[in-house]
Amino acid sequence: MADVSSAAATDGATIATPINLILIALLMILAYYRLSPKTALTLPTPPAPTVFKTFTPPDLEPYNGRNNMPVYLAVRGRVFDVTPGRNFYGPGGPYANFAGRDASRGLACGSFDEDMLTKDLNGPLDTLSDLGDEEMEALRGWEERFSEKYLVVGKLVHVGSDEANDATPAEKL
């Protein structure tokens, strides 16, 4: 009896030899590569690196989610990449009017009206100087939320400013 149990114990011990463990590990690695050949062969396209750029309103406008473009919007001169919120800002979304635009006034006033958007993209930026404390407070709230949720990818400057002339948006290179 004692011999049988000691043989079983020995058998158990021999299975877990270092060689066997290495072989099992190799088998698992092989099985992994065999079962997921696509991940090894077709690398996913890496996201475009985030480069801080200077945008004028016409530069920003195409970033409205149409034609597979990312979605950007500006709040008080800061351009946010709101592509992860495409459902909100992309085509057909409830806030699509802000896509590719300076959304400051609309957010401050809580309005989607067309006249919240700067009409002349080649003109001066909206200074918001006519807005009251309450509206500016609301705008700061949105900015805070965006800063936590989205990446800042650039700054918005008016057409013809020195910064606009110095900077060359990547898509024009």
Our CB check for ligand HEM shows the closer of 63 and 95 to be 95
Beta strands in the chain, from DSSP E residues, in sequence order: 53-55, 72-75, 78-81, 151-156
Does position 111 bind ligand HEM by CB under 6 A? yes
Using CB under 6 A as the binding rule, whether residue 107 contacts ligand HEM is answered as: yes
Q: How many CB atoms lie within 10 A of CB 109?
A: 17
* Interacting residue with ligand HEM among 86, 88, 121, 155 (CB under 6 A): 88
56 with 171: CB under 8 angstroms?
no
**Residue 147 in the binding site for ligand HEM (CB under 6 A):** no
Stretch that binds ligand HEM, among 58-66, 109-117, 125-133, 154-162 (CB under 6 A): 109-117
Polymer length in residues for the chain = 173
Residue 80 near ligand HEM by CB under 6 A? no
Q: Is 128 in the site for ligand HEM (CB under 6 A)?
A: no
Q: Please name the residues in contact with 44: beta carbons below 8 A apart, sequence gap of 6 or more.
A: none
The interface region with ligand HEM, picked from 48-56, 61-69, 82-90, 122-130 by CB under 6 A, is 82-90
- Residue from 112, 140, 152, 161 touching ligand HEM (CB under 6 A): that is 112
Measure the CA–CA gap between 38 and 80, rounded to whole angstroms: 33
Decide if 57 contacts 156 (C-beta within 8 A): yes
CB 97 within 8 A of CB 77: no
**CA distance from start to end of the chain:** 84
Cβ-closest position to ligand HEM: 85
Residue 99 or residue 107: which is nearer to ligand HEM going by CB?
107
Q: Which residues bind ligand HEM (CB under 6 A)?
A: 82, 85, 88, 95, 106-107, 110-112, 149
